[in-house]
A and B are shown apart, each in its own frame.
Chain A
Amino acid sequence: MIEPALPPHEEPHDEAQSLLPWYLTGQLSASERAAVETHLTSCPRCRADVASERRLIAELVDLPVEVELGWTRLRERLDPKPQAAARGGARREVGRRWRAGLPWLGWALAAGQIAVFAVVGQAIWPAAPPARYHTLAGVAALAAGNVVVIFRPDTRERELRATLEASHARVVDGPTAADAYVLRVPASQRLAALATLRARPDITLAEPIDAPP
């Protein structure tokens, strides 16, 4: 479909309206920004649009994109067999292409998983099957995890990210069947990272899964 074009911006009002989204995100050139600001001083309608659009942006930015992903993961647990059959082909193909370029990757990932599973055991992974495929995210598992955490179920992505940053941690595996994540924190900061993690309100469990450095 060819979209109907906007009328030419002959009026400062139309020009300001078309630039408003990028004015509000600070993405205009100095001359464009100056033109918009000049117009705003004399246009109550555009000033009102600025105010309402800022609130719209705040809400859009805050919309939880993880809802869809989370629901799909849960849906797969509720009805795993048909979903697994449908997914297998595409994921195996991606995994095949990836491993074809990195023949040692599969062995490295497998070794890392064995080490983690041996330490933590069934308390954290009561029913976790061995991975049937590896996507690109599996590259992260090359660095072995040394801490396992469980986030509160209602933790939002922003909070999760803040917690990871505060503890200088990277996610190297998860979520497992028990919703646990394996993290890698710098060995020299392991104790401090554990203390930080345990103090976070969004963490319900934080335990080391390797020997102290």
Chain B
Amino acid sequence: MSARQGGTADRRRDIARPAAFDEARLIDRIAEGDLRAFEQLYRLYHPRLTRFIVNMVHRPQITEEVLDDTMLVVWNRPTSYNGASKVSTWIFAIAYHKALSALRRHREPVEDKHAETRESLEAGPEQLLGRRQAREALLTAMRELSPDHRAVVDLTYFHEIGYREIADIMDCPIDTVKTRMHHARRHLKRVLSGQMADWL
């Protein structure tokens, strides 16, 4: 049995993954002050980081700030990458912590105190006029998740990162990643069961 769904996986890879590249070598060159190497890395990561940060913070103004702050860390402190993980893990971890800091600065709640008790959306079938509305429901459902839950969903489904690496990025136990994913999936499926049954 194949674990992948061809079309979706291909589309996601096209959008999310840069070509095979020796990113660690780029970091070495950045440590030597090579601006072109930094530009190359910036271009590689801009789409992925933008998507990840937007999904976490849901505030475009903060997204730009977090993206720049993340890449400034890469430029200013490249030697803090110790080679023990993938470069992507290091950069996503910086982005994750910068996003959390930004949310706190802007007084946004980071954790979801209602993850356990939230009810599904109440819209009935008469409100579902098609796929567009259903997708809006899914967007709303994602917004209802906490930034931490959204981060796990996005890193897993879009960026195709394994749970161990996500635990490294979020600096938390593996079981916490699985727990967050469990609650996020349950919430999304709860919404989907009422909102998308006609086409899902």
Contacts and interface: CB of A to CB of B under 8 A. Distances in A.
Interface of A: 1, 3-6, 17-18, 21-28, 33, 37, 40, 52-63, 65, 67-69, 72, 87, 90-91, 94, 97-98, 101-102, 135-137, 139-140, 142, 157-158, 161-162, 170
A135 B9 contact: no
Interface string B38-53: 1100110011001100
Contacts of A161: 14-15, 47
A58 B8 contact: yes
A4 B116 contact: yes
A91 B65 CA distance: 7
A59 B142 CA distance: 12
Q: Is the interface of B mostly helix, strand, loop or mixed?
A: helix
Contact of A65 (B55, B65, B111): B55
Given A23-B3, A60-B157, A136-B67, A3 B183 contact: yes
Q: Is the interface of A mostly helix, strand, loop or mixed?
A: helix
B139 A63 contact: yes
B11 A158 contact: yes
A69 B63 contact: yes
A37 B1 contact: yes
Interface of B: 1, 3-5, 7-9, 11-12, 14-15, 35, 38-39, 42-43, 46-47, 50-51, 54-55, 58-61, 63-65, 67-69, 71-72, 75-76, 111-113, 115-116, 135, 138-139, 142, 153, 156-158, 160-163, 175-176, 178-183, 185, 188-189, 192, 196, 200
A137 to B, nearest CB: 8
A24 B2 CA distance: 9
